[in-house]
Structure 1
Amino acid sequence: MTAPVTLALTAGEPAGIGPELCLMLAREARDTGLVVVACEALLAERARRLGLDVTLHPWQPGEPARCEPGHLSVWPVAGCVSRAAGKPDPANSRYVLATLETAARACLDGVLDGMVTGPVHKGVINEAGVAFSGHTEFLQALCGVERVVMMLATDELRVALVTTHLPLREVADAITPERLGQVARILDRDLRAWFGLEQPRILVAGLNPHAGEGGHLGREEIEVIEPTLARLRQEGLSLTGPLPADTLFTPHWLEQADAVLAMYHDQGLPVLKYQGFGRAVNVTLGLPIVRTSVDHGTALDLAGTGTADAGSLHTAIRVAGHMARCRRRAGEVGA
């Protein structure tokens, strides 16, 4: 009998809503095994504050995760020195990073099948003197990969990015044939491996208004994007574009696609978040492990109130479980 998929779930910033979102999962039975990687005392204290009846079970590798209502398996991580809701403390920064490293190494070692990350506060971590630009870059370095791709997804739409957190004036120079080629290949490969798509259909946005309008509104499409897409098509990738971004996100085009490749952050993500904020998931492609995340921040103003919405976390867990199962099936076929 095939063992069930079991995921690591990091609780994120201790002062934010991450710990209570983890606890809310215990309200009902789960068909995917979850191990919360966090300070056990933090979870217990937040449960008492919110009046949640949750029994925490310290977990060790090799044990099954508790999936019945009212119970959570916890991989205890020490070092959380301040547990006050809504009041972040830079002294907790190394603890937060320790939860990420613990979860990621468990996935790399095959102990767990993937990881889902709760929201962290990058500013607080940097205040502690620790260089940290985000989950994605941290996991990229830990896993030793050259390029990763950010993709946000809902049930209806997937949007991947060629560039991510760059000032707008730097975007055009960052879109090189090498970068565009790497990102498109990773997107195609991981849609096949992690999502079970035999021939992913990818729509590619142009950089400029009207996709450059034949060079009258910019030449990046002519000089970089179109030649790169032509070479990639010769490799077998199914790519349509470059298309004007203002008409790409319409039913006519989206009905023909499995994913959209946008050139920069605010070209693609506003559309996706308008379409599905609160039920979207952030997926890191290009890693050797499954990693998804919620699509929101720490919401310090909501922490400890019991009013946080766990919708995005439920989606992140469901997508990570699907990815892990696809990977497992692919491994069984290739064995």
Structure 2
Amino acid sequence: MVWVRRVHILFFACFVVQAKLVNVTLDDQDAGLIYTPSDAWADGTDCRVCTAKLETDKLVRGSWHDSTFQPGDKETHKVSVSFNGTAIYVNCILAKSTSNPPLDGHSDMRFFIDGALVGRFARDVSNDSTSTYEYGTTVYANTSIPAGLHTFRLQNGHTNSTTQSLVLLDAITYSYDDEQPDSSVTVYSTATGSLVISETGTPDGEGAVPSESSNIASVVAPAIIVPLVLVISIFALAIYLRRRRRRRHSVVGEYGPSTWGQPTYASTTSYPPARLVSPVADFDHSSRASTPVFETRVGNR
């Protein structure tokens, strides 16, 4: 059955090679991201009234979008994007302090895919001046999206809320299977529409793409591999049994049926056997007088 094991290994290796994913990172400046209302979002790198001041070298492409939802706002702040893939990740910067600098870092976000609510991120910060910001934080990740075209929406705040909510958006990343045997790659989409491909699989910025993306293939693959391997195993077993039966028949045809173990019975005839003679006495030549003769006589007494 060694050849059967080799078939299984070869099949599994071929499938894993074809299950590579490509990560497409959309920077906050990407033209595919739609911000509404437009005046509720500000370019963080060019916003003089924004309180949050970030280190651009820790961001994807050195930029971010700033949105602050205030209680009493008639409309929530949203950012939407269409994508064709099986996974999506949202990366933001979180403010850890409400006093250094003086800003409210509370966050209240909701996430929608194709109009359905799929997640929420809420955070109440305490007065902590030890570290002002957390860069590259994944506030939402979904790796079980059916393959196809989808619409994703991030919503900052909600109606009738009594709490301020801050969103500092860095980038949105989605994944799709390109069915190519290449190593995992990351494609960056910029505002100009050009693409930058990286073979490292990790976008610029601290933790911009969560490590779970490398495990998507191992989650999806068993659902397809297990049934196929089972079918191959049954087929291989049938071939093996058939060949074994043929070899057994060929041995019988060449040497005949085996008699090994069959019992051998002794003859019941006495030895030496009695000899029938005529009723008249039979006397042989004197030279054979010493030879005993067994006879059987038939007659009346």
TM bucket, shorter chain: under 0.3
Q: Which is greater in Rg?
A: 2
TM-score by length of 1: 0.22
Q: Whose strand proportion is higher, 1 or 2?
A: 2
